[in-house]
Structure 1
Amino acid sequence: MTRRLAREIIFKMLFAFESGNNTPQEALIIAYEKPIEEKDREYILKVCEGVIKNLETIDRIIEKYTIDWKLERLLLTDKTLLRLAIYEMLFCEDIPESVSINEAVELAKVYGDMKSPKFINGVLGAIARDLDNIKKSL
């Protein structure tokens, strides 16, 4: 399985988790009905659970960088994409920040509205510029 597909599944899982109060395992069944190899399943669940575990920290970062936007006002798709990308930027050292940003923008083109890609890119770009300071403050 490609990282792109895994990321899309994780996005759908986080969306299902947020919108339907599903567990990560239930969300995986909702997000992807085909059989998944064990190593891919482990990676997907690890990242999904990592986002959920660090949700408070991630959401504080989102609120700081989405000036004049409350978390509740964000589209659920945008908020979910931001959460996933920020988690990758903070905790997945094997993924370059530019890849996390680009992948979030590409998913925003598919799942968000017309303004989502630009919004996601702007927020994540600002976070990337301050990433060292953000990591030091954790």
Structure 2
Amino acid sequence: MSKKKGNRPGVRRMGRTLAFQVLYGVSMVPETGMEGMKAAFERNPQVESEENDFVRDFGRSLYLGVMEHLARLDELVRTHSQHWKIERIAKVELAILRLALYEMAFTDIPERAAINEAVELAKRFGDGNSKSFINGILDGAAKELKAK
């Protein structure tokens, strides 16, 4: 394992958690425009209290990436959440799904790692059914993304 600062899985997990928390927060009060989205990230109390620059930077890049590709990510959620309208998916699960799908579709993070991290977020922040729901949707999306 590399000793480079910020390359440890725990630090990435913290950045991912930060991105999730801001995504969840803005789902309550959506921001518009890139400046508004950036401001929403920077003024989040969790971001303000984070001392590690890598965690903040990684979290910011994930959050802004999700916001940039939101329409495509929501399309993937709709396609793979059989019998669920996106408006009926709990905001916690939707934020986790968007984050994981962004990592799977638009970054070099391995799909399995993105799914595992999403399940960990679901265990921590969701209810008893969250991890199974998220895992099922992401597994289906992974097959579609691999086919492309």
Corresponding residue of 2:34: none
> Using the alignment, how far apart are the partners of 1:79 and 1:24 within structure 2?
20
Is residue 84 of structure 2 the alignment partner of residue 69 of structure 1? yes
Is residue 127 of structure 2 the alignment partner of residue 110 of structure 1? no
Match of 1:27 among 41, 46, 51: 41
1:130 CA displacement: 1.7
Corresponding residue of 1:53: 68
Letter in 2 for 1:11: F
Match of 1:123 among 116, 128, 137: 137
1:25 CA displacement: 3.1
1:15-62 deviation line (CA, Å, top 9, x unaligned)? 111112253433342333324344443322221111001000000010
> Using the alignment, how far apart are the partners of 1:30 and 1:100 within structure 2?
25
Is residue 12 of structure 2 the alignment partner of residue 3 of structure 1? yes
1:126 CA displacement: 1.1
Q: Secondary structure at the match of 1:33?
A: helix
Q: Please say if residues 16 and 30 of structure 1, whose CA atoms lie closer than 8 Å, have aligned partners that are also in contact.
A: no
Distance 1:81 1:35, change over 3 A: closer
TM-score scaled by structure 1?
A: 0.87
Corresponding residue of 1:44: 59
The alignment yields a C-alpha RMSD, in angstroms, of 1.7
Number of corresponding residues: 133
Q: Please say if residues 12 and 58 of structure 2, whose CA atoms lie closer than 8 Å, have aligned partners that are also in contact.
A: no
Percent of aligned positions with the same letter in both sequences? Answer: 35
Higher mean alpha-carbon deviation, 55-64 vs 17-26, is at 17-26
